[in-house]
Amino acid sequence: MTMSEATAAAEGGSAVGVQVAAENPPVDGAAEDAVIGKWAEDTQEALVIAPDKLTAYLTYLRDRQGYDFLSSVTCVDYSAYGGKLRDGVDERFELVYHLYSTRKGGGPVVLHVRVPENETVASATGIYPGANLQECEVYDLYGIKFEGHPNLRRVLLWDGFNGHPMRKDWKEAYHEADTKPFRSRHPQGDYQWHEDKIPWGKNTTYPTGWDPDSWRAPITYVPVSQAPEDAYSDEFETESIVVNLGPHHPSTHGVFRMLTRIKGETILALEPEMGYLHRNHEKIGERNTWLMNMPFTDRLDYINSMSNNLGYALAVEKLAGIEVPERAQYIRVIMAELTRVVNHTWSIGFILNDLGALQTPALYAIEEREMILDLFEEVSGARLMCNYMRFGGVVRDLTEGWEDRARYLANERLPRALDELDRLLSDNEIVKARGRGVGYLSAKDLLSLSVSGPMIRAAGVPYDIRKAEPYCIYDRFDFDIPTLPEGDIYARYYIRLLEARESVKILQQALRDIPKGEVLGGKGGYTLRPPEGEAYQRIEAPKGELGFYVVSDAKPNPYRYHVRSPSYINLNALGPMCVGYKVADAVVILGAIDIVLGEVDR
């Protein structure tokens, strides 16, 4: 199968969208009908859309308004909402869509769709195929069914799981209280040892009629989504077979499974299976107080804890209106860019690992990472789980001499190391042979699949949130958005090198200009109660668009805490990218997406 066929397969989804558009001509008048109200005007305004007009409105936004990027789809269960804003609204659930325009840049259009319990909603996958995994997640965690979704399934939990855990009335086993701090452990609490509670304790529920003895895991490997029976004619009589790559496989970057249907060595269809590391991060996040979530964000993408901290801090600051002092702004940028260098060198090393160049390039690539982690440790106390940012700044000032060391890195060591990596790998004939033309997907397809970050820039889309919707103080620095036109593995490798160079440029400027002063302002301590409302803040994390969607009902705990994780959503493109290539290529294609399972599974 050729590349164009692969693209055609990926475009199969959007054909549905065209159909919908034809049925409901996207005239502006009809679109206005769709908007039936506003929501959260004080914090981040959202439009309330009539459920039956959703697809028409999405089509209108995509085709007439240029909102080509469906960033986030999520849901809120308002059944326990303590705020005042929602008086008079009966529907229990609200689906929340965030759409952006990669051409115009700027802020999002936020859509809310109110859904009563047990109702279905039209799937957005026809218009934005990238809604695929996110709608699966909403179905899995909230139990909302999407009509017209090609493959609605439980993605994060196992098939027999009882209930939908993100619903407010779902309590996990050994549930202690809805919110922290727990009463039972303080001060005279009956502290219970976890060992006493396991395995079967109170509040564990099973599906009706479930019998642990007779239960067998359902056989899930039969259909690999819409696998074509026979993708190409050939001279041999062969049958296609289903092969599992993973979950425990050295090439899957963690506990992750690629369900493939192959014929010979060629992949006919591929589906990502995840959730092995799922810990319901968002449910934990809703029980925590606002501040408590900070160290938990470290554990999402554990290679880039500094950027995760930053994204979450920015979201809460946006919601609560907290100012950040000048010096802290600079420190944040420095940390975020150091993290990007760490991530990109790491991912370059591991793309090479997946290509079969075991360890040498990887270890060369992460040499400087060691120095950067030492710097992190010196200021924050930990190399990986930094927990360094706070609402209103960063927790501690830099140590003495830190800036000089960072300057040495930014001005001498990192540029040299990146050049060396370039010399070591970029002209390598094997890297080129394995990377050129492999895993191709066009820019249009990538965007429609909601892919973000280096992946789209390697396909020629100059879209970077630091420029398109600047946050922190990125508008003060002089840097470029490198793009490459090819959209293949090699470009995805090389774009990361180029981006790391740009990060070094930002680092040099930030370390030159950093002022003295306060590093933590505002009242963002553990008693924080943001005003009622919601906010979505995204940052250009090294792996793509990392977004935090937070809803407050003016209580000490977030009412809703959602992570739009780039690793998870970029996996939308894994299947379409792999079709037609060899099994060995699939390994590299996955590597070049650059996922971290802590963030995929959450």
Partner 1 sequence: MFGTGLLKGLGVTMKHFAETFIDDRKPMPSRYADSIQLEHGRRIIDQPITQEGLLTIQYPEEKRLLPERFRYIPMLLWDTEKGEDRCTACGICAKVCPPQCIWIVRDSDENGKPVTRPAEFFIDAAVCMSCSFCVEFCPFDAIKMNHDYELAVYDRYPQLVYDKEELTVPLEYYAAMWPEQFAAEQEALRKAEEEERAKAEAKAKAAEAKAKAGKSADKPKRTPEEIEAMKQKAAARSAAAKEKAAGGADASDKASSDTGDDAAKKARLEELKRKAAERAKQRKQSEG
Q: Indicate whether 292 belongs to the interface with partner 1 (CB under 8 A).
A: yes
Would you call 241 helix, strand, or coil by DSSP?
A: strand
Q: How many CB atoms neighbour CB 100 within 10 A?
A: 25
Q: 246 to 275, contacts with partner 1 by CB under 8 A?
A: none
Stretch that binds partner 1, among 369-377, 445-453, 496-504, 543-551 (CB under 8 A): 369-377
Pairing of strands 544-552, 560-564: antiparallel
| Residue from the set 44, 55, 387, 452 that interacts with partner 1 by CB under 8 A | 387
- C-alpha closest to that of 179 among 287, 23, 263: 287
| Residue from the set 230, 370, 480, 513 that interacts with partner 1 by CB under 8 A | 370
- C-alpha closest to that of 129 among 20, 259, 10: 10
211 or 427: whose CB is closer to partner 1?
427
| Residue from the set 50, 385, 481, 584 that interacts with partner 1 by CB under 8 A | 385
d(Cα 234, Cα 123) in Å, to the nearest integer? 37
Q: Residue ranges of the alpha helices (H) in 47-98?
A: 54-63
Tell me how far, at minimum, the Cβ of 601 lies from partner 1, in Å: 18
Would you call 113 helix, strand, or coil by DSSP?
A: strand
Distant-in-sequence, close-in-space partners of 574: CB < 8 Å, separation ≥ 6: 258, 270, 272, 589, 590, 593
Binding mask 137-176 for partner 1 (x = CB under 8 A): ----------------------------------------
Distant-in-sequence, close-in-space partners of 181: CB < 8 Å, separation ≥ 6: 289
Tokens of 71: 């960033």
| Residue from the set 40, 111, 294, 587 that interacts with partner 1 by CB under 8 A | 294
Stretch that binds partner 1, among 91-99, 204-212, 265-273, 289-297 (CB under 8 A): 289-297
Token look-up 């590093």 returns: 519
d(Cα 473, Cα 330) in Å, to the nearest integer? 8
Tokens of 89: 């609204």
| Residue from the set 159, 229, 235, 427 that interacts with partner 1 by CB under 8 A | 427
215 or 526: whose CB is closer to partner 1?
526
Report how far apart, in Å, the C-alpha atoms of 553 and of each of 82, 281, 414 are.
6, 20, 45
38 or 175: whose CB is closer to partner 1?
175
Give the CA angle between residues 489, 493, 496 to the nearest 5°: 140
Q: Indicate whether 463 belongs to the interface with partner 1 (CB under 8 A).
A: no
Within 13 Å, how many C-alpha atoms sit on residue 503's CB side? 26
In what helix (H) or strand (E) does residue 538 lie, and over which residues does it extend? strand 533-541
Stretch that binds partner 1, among 184-192, 484-492, 493-501, 586-594 (CB under 8 A): 184-192
| Residue from the set 25, 116, 181, 321 that interacts with partner 1 by CB under 8 A | 181
CA dihedral sign, ordered 230, 236, 239, 241 = negative
Q: Indicate whether 559 belongs to the interface with partner 1 (CB under 8 A).
A: no
| Residue from the set 12, 42, 430, 513 that interacts with partner 1 by CB under 8 A | 430
d(Cα 113, Cα 97) in Å, to the nearest integer? 8
Q: Which letter does DSSP use for residue 557 in this model? A: S
One-letter amino acid for residue 565 of the chain: S
Q: Indicate whether 291 belongs to the interface with partner 1 (CB under 8 A).
A: yes
405 or 529: whose CB is closer to partner 1?
405
| Residue from the set 371, 443, 535, 551 that interacts with partner 1 by CB under 8 A | 371
Q: Indicate whether 178 belongs to the interface with partner 1 (CB under 8 A).
A: no
| Residue from the set 123, 260, 288, 483 that interacts with partner 1 by CB under 8 A | 288
- C-alpha closest to that of 531 among 559, 504, 508, 511: 559
Q: Indicate whether 367 belongs to the interface with partner 1 (CB under 8 A).
A: yes
Token look-up 């470290």 returns: 298
- C-alpha closest to that of 304 among 503, 519, 589: 503
Q: 489 to 528, contacts with partner 1 by CB under 8 A?
A: 525-526
Q: Which letter does DSSP use for residue 602 in this model? A: -
Stretch that binds partner 1, among 79-87, 122-130, 160-168, 285-293 (CB under 8 A): 285-293
Give the CA angle between residues 443, 449, 455 to the nearest 5°: 50
| Residue from the set 145, 171, 405, 582 that interacts with partner 1 by CB under 8 A | 405
Give φ, ψ of 599 to 5 degrees. -95, -30
d(Cα 267, Cα 581) in Å, to the nearest integer? 6
232 or 526: whose CB is closer to partner 1?
526
Q: Indicate whether 379 belongs to the interface with partner 1 (CB under 8 A).
A: yes
Tell me how far, at minimum, the Cβ of 14 lies from partner 1, in Å: 39
Tell me the number of residues near partner 1 by CB under 8 A: 56
Q: 434 to 453, contacts with partner 1 by CB under 8 A?
A: none
| Residue from the set 395, 481, 554, 584 that interacts with partner 1 by CB under 8 A | 395
Tell me how far, at minimum, the Cβ of 306 lies from partner 1, in Å: 15
Tell me how far, at minimum, the Cβ of 161 lies from partner 1, in Å: 24
Distant-in-sequence, close-in-space partners of 112: CB < 8 Å, separation ≥ 6: 39, 46, 47, 48, 49, 94, 95, 96, 97
Q: Indicate whether 424 belongs to the interface with partner 1 (CB under 8 A).
A: yes
Q: Indicate whether 403 belongs to the interface with partner 1 (CB under 8 A).
A: no
Stretch that binds partner 1, among 25-33, 178-186, 259-267, 560-568 (CB under 8 A): 178-186
Q: Indicate whether 1 belongs to the interface with partner 1 (CB under 8 A).
A: no
Q: Which residues bind partner 1 (CB under 8 A)?
A: 180-182, 185-189, 191, 193-196, 288-289, 291-296, 360, 364, 367, 370-371, 374-375, 377-382, 385, 387, 395-396, 399, 405, 408-409, 413, 420, 423-432, 525-526
